[in-house]
């Protein structure tokens, strides 16, 4: 690891000012689960490391008619927070499946979002939940729906000098159920071959589905929002209809062939994951 300058700003304004001034010479450090590895391996060789860990305003979870997630909130806190588990169980479930406890204690939600890795569990669930990403820069703040935040694998709409300052998630309506399921090869700590999040709302008296959203991870260059889920709205979702929707959703995917498997194999896995996630989400919505 080559020597570098180190700065730990105390505010968002100070951080974005430094980033704007130093440009590509600066490298952001949040929780450090990925950044420290990149520094040690020499994947990045910055002149300056900007440690965001001292910015208190970017920490914690807050309920504000929805859920505000500070960018520095750990994935473990999303998993364990009683309020999140009660009102946003999809997010807690997805967080619980990230790597292992050691990683979840260090890795931040903002880092997981900003990193742009297509197969990461947390962004898949946040996309299914309709999250909004808050971005800070020297010119001010802006908010971007997470559906529009990703531009490609490891690419986002963040411009030079901007950081993710937080994420807002709307509160699900009553009678909503969610589920996140992933498939890995070997250890469950490995990166998933694919994952899927489903969020479904039902009308309690009729059992008909009033809203449905399915998002697939590792299904393309960015999290894939399956339009096929719309076929569930207005009907009582039978196992047969769920299977049809899952098959159609898998056809919307565009997985790449890599060490985790060929395209046809991943598409088949996605079909199974979506079917199971929808089935589980519906069961939870009805109880």
Contacting residues for 3 by C-beta, under 8 A, at least 6 apart? none
d(CA 222, CA 152): 6
What the block records as the tokens of 179 is: 């589920």
Domain boundaries, the chain: 5-51, 59-170, 176-285
Q: Which of 170, 158, 96, 101 is nearest to 132 (CA)?
A: 170
Q: Strand pairing of 48-51 and 26-29?
A: parallel
Q: Which of 242, 240, 234, 266 is nearest to 252 (CA)?
A: 266
Pair 215, 150: CB distance under 8 Å = no
Q: Topology of 5-51 in CATH?
A: 3.30.43
CB burial class (10 A; 0-12, 13-18, 19+) of residue 24?
exposed
176-285 has which CATH code?
3.30.390.50
| pLDDT, position 2 | 84
pLDDT in tens, 70-120: 999 999 999 999 999 999 999 999 999 999 999 999 999 999 999 999 999
- pTM for this prediction: 0.97
CATH architecture of 59-170: 2-Layer Sandwich (3.30)
d(CA 53, CA 59): 9
CB burial class (10 A; 0-12, 13-18, 19+) of residue 44?
exposed
Q: Which of 209, 109, 227 is nearest to 166 (CA)?
A: 109
* pLDDT reading at 217 higher than 80: yes
Position of tokens 């909130």? 73
* pLDDT reading at 1 higher than 80: no
Contacting residues for 264 by C-beta, under 8 A, at least 6 apart? none
* pLDDT reading at 248 higher than 90: yes
d(CA 253, CA 200): 20
């Amino acid at each position: 690891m080559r020597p570098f300058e180190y700065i730990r700003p105390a505010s968002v304004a100070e951080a974005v000012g430094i980033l704007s001034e130093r440009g590509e010479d600066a490298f952001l450090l949040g929780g450090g689960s990925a950044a420290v590895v990149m520094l040690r391996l020499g994947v990045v060789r910055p002149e300056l490391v900007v440690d965001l860990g001292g910015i208190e305003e970017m920490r914690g979870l807050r309920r504000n008619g929805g859920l505000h997630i500070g960018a520095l909130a750990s994935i473990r806190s999303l998993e364990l927070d009683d309020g999140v588990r009660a009102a946003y169980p999809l997010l807690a479930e997805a967080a619980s499946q990230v790597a292992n406890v050691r990683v979840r204690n260090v890795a931040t939600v903002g880092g997981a979002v900003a990193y742009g890795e297509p197969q990461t569990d947390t962004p898949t669930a946040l996309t299914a939940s309709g999250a909004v990403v808050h971005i800070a820069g020297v010119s001010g703040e802006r908010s971007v729906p997470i559906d529009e935040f990703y531009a490609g694998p490891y690419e986002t709409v963040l411009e030079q000098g901007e950081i993710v300052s937080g994420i807002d998630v709307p509160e699900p309506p009553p009678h909503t159920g969610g589920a996140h399921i992933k498939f890995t090869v070997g250890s469950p700590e490995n990166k998933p071959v694919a994952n899927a999040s489903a969020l479904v709302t039902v009308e309690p008296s009729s059992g008909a589905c009033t809203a449905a959203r399915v998002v697939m991870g590792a299904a393309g260059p960015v999290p894939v929002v399956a339009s096929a889920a719309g076929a569930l709205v207005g009907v009582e979702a039978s196992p047969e209809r769920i299977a049809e929707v899952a098959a159609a959703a898998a056809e919307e995917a565009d997985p790449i062939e890599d060490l985790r498997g060929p395209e046809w194999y991943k598409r088949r896995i996605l079909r199974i994951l979506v079917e199971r996630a929808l089935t589980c989400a519906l069961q939870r919505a009805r109880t």
